[in-house]
Amino acid sequence: MAVTATDGFIVRKRSTTITTLLPPLSVVPNATCAGCGCVCDDIELQHDGRSIYVAKNACERGEAWFREQTVERQSSEVLLDAAVEAAAEILHAADLPLVFGLGDSTCEAQREAIALAEQLGGTIDTETSLSHGSMEMAAQLGGKITCTLGEVKNRADFVLYWGANPAETHPRHFERYTLTTTGKYTPSGRADRTLVVVDVRETASTAEADVFLRIRPGQDFEALSILRAVVQGSRFDEAKLAATGLTLDQLRDLSRRMKKARYGIVFVGMGLFQTRGTFMNCAAVTALVIELNSWTRFISMPMRSPGNVSGADAVLSYTTGYPFAVNFSRGYPRYNPGEFSAAGLLARGEVDAALIVGTDAAARLPQAARDHLSRIPTITLDAKPPTFTPRVHITTAAVAAGTVYRMDKVPLTLRPPITSAAPSDETVLRLIRDALAKKSAWYPTAAAVMPAK
Ligand code: SF4
């Protein structure tokens, strides 16, 4: 079906003077947006084959995400071949290469990147180690009870956001899954749900809350530990409670609401990951939720970043057994956040080449890591020009067809309506692997490991 742009968000304006001369726009129903962890798959797009003009149902953030999807400049095949060969040379010559990023790549590209890291005997790490890695580590410590967002929509009558501001970071989260939407056991939508927000400041999300608990910065672990004690009726240090900025009455009220909920969920945001305590804060949340299951059904879930970071955790977990910071230098996967996290490896100067895929490393990594990145040969694969000067840059498609994971680890299909002129991350990574396969293997031969007697 072909239409002209009439309603919905205008992602990109067509020139009004020549609109009548242009062909009508094509419509794509149920397109998927990866502008945030909600991964909305109910977007209706209108495009002309080169640019997207209308994204119906998308929020402003989604609109910006679709705006980036245009037909990129195509580099010639000769230039691509030369860039791939140069990238393979750099990686082959390195003793400990690092593959980092993958937040904007499809799961298919992530699989290629993992295979490449293994082929190189290098280290692979994703943006998870800079954000939600604490939640993964907390789950490894004591287990985690989780669910899909469909379950939240249909069942949750108590929703708590701790250190998160979904109204700005995940704009359709309230509308699609947690607050205003109606579900099988929440037929009255908002009226059937209680919303509690715990944060250090007032935000657009706290304005929607039935209860807003303002906590002092850096006191999350203490507040969560005291809340666990209140839930269980155990003793706690009252001086520590005063330091959190919360009162006993507030925590007793929260505990009462949690226990009487039919189905409760705690969404964990960056406020908890990026403050003192990091993964111990997350461990306190998962422990609280496990304990609350003695009274009622309770779940926890991290509010994941934009793109497909959630997919990177899933693909790394099902291929190597570990969600991020994986090293292959012994020929098999080893996991140790801190030791094998990109930020730490770079800051300590332990890697001698880096392949950055689909992430703005200069903006994401700490200064010490960025300093080392500028000293070693670096290859970038991205649709956008890099914000630092790599040795090799290959422009890849802004969005490629493939699989992305929603924040609840539900895989969804990405079907970009516009065919990019640039190759996908997956294609380029495979070309680099093919070029490497023609060179000598990095690992020592059996004869070198066990010399003949
Ligand atoms: S809420 Fe997130 S996934 Fe949904 S349209 Fe907005 S940016 Fe895209």
Whether the Cβ atoms of residue 381 and residue 84 lie closer than 8 Å to each other? no
Whether the Cβ atoms of residue 425 and residue 131 lie closer than 8 Å to each other? no
Residues 6+ apart with CB under 8 A from 166: 173, 174, 178, 205, 267, 269, 303
HSE-CB of 101 using CA atoms within 13 angstroms: 24
If one counts every other C-beta atom within 10 angstroms of the C-beta of residue 421, the result is: 14
- Give the model's pLDDT for residue 9: 45
| 37 pocket-lining for ligand 1 (C-beta < 6 Å) | no
Domain ranges of the chain: 80-128+307-403+421-440, 133-302
pTM greater than 0.85 (yes/no): yes
Domain 80-128+307-403+421-440, CATH class in plain words: alpha beta
Whether the Cβ atoms of residue 438 and residue 116 lie closer than 8 Å to each other? no
How much is the average pLDDT of 234-239? 91
What single-letter amino acid sits at 41? D
Has residue 16 got a pLDDT over 80? no
Q: What is the CA radius of gyration of the chain?
A: 24
- Give the model's pLDDT for residue 70: 67
How much is the average pLDDT of 122-143? 89
DSSP string, 385-440: PPSS--SEEEE--SS-SEEEE-TTS-EEEE--SS--SSPPHHHHHHHHHHHHHTSP
Helices (H), 121-174: 133-142, 149-155, 166-169, 173
| 28 pocket-lining for ligand 1 (C-beta < 6 Å) | no
Ramachandran angles phi, psi of 444, nearest 5°:
-70, 145
Residue closest by Cα to atom 1 of ligand 1:
172
For 167-220, the pLDDT digits (tens) are 999 999 999 999 999 999 999 999 999 999 999 999 999 999 999 999 999 999
**185/453 Cα distance (integer angstroms):** 73
| 36 pocket-lining for ligand 1 (C-beta < 6 Å) | yes
Residue that the structure tokens 């964990």 belong to = 268
Residue 104 CA, ligand 1 centroid: distance in Å: 14
Residue 423 CA, ligand 1 centroid: distance in Å: 25
**349/344 Cα distance (integer angstroms):** 8
How much is the average pLDDT of 368-394? 92
- Give the model's pLDDT for residue 71: 58
From the CA of 57, give the closest atom in ligand 1: 5
| 356 pocket-lining for ligand 1 (C-beta < 6 Å) | no
User: Ligand 1, residues 170, 176, 179: which to mutate, most atoms within 8 A of Cβ?
Assistant: 170
**281/137 Cα distance (integer angstroms):** 11
Stretch (H or E) spanning 126: strand 123-126
Distances (CA, A) of 26 to 20, 35, 71: 15, 22, 16
Has residue 123 got a pLDDT over 80? yes
Residue closest by Cα to atom 2 of ligand 1:
36
**30/55 Cα distance (integer angstroms):** 10
HSE-CB of 275 using CA atoms within 13 angstroms: 20
For 77-102, the pLDDT digits (tens) are 668 999 999 999 999 999 999 999 99
**100/155 Cα distance (integer angstroms):** 38
Q: What percent of the chain has pLDDT over 90?
A: 70
User: Ligand 1, residues 9, 30, 32, 38: which to mutate, most atoms within 8 A of Cβ?
Assistant: 38
Residue 102 CA, ligand 1 centroid: distance in Å: 19
| Domain 133-302: which CATH number of 3.40.50.11540, 3.90.226.10, 3.30.465.10, 3.40.228.10 | 3.40.228.10
Stretch (H or E) spanning 300: strand 297-302
| Residue environment code for 391-420, b if the CB has 16+ CB neighbours within 10 A, otherwise e | ebbbbbbbbbebbbbbbbbeebebebbbeb
Q: What percent of the chain has pLDDT over 70?
A: 90
Residue that the structure tokens 């332990």 belong to = 350
Residue 174 CA, ligand 1 centroid: distance in Å: 11
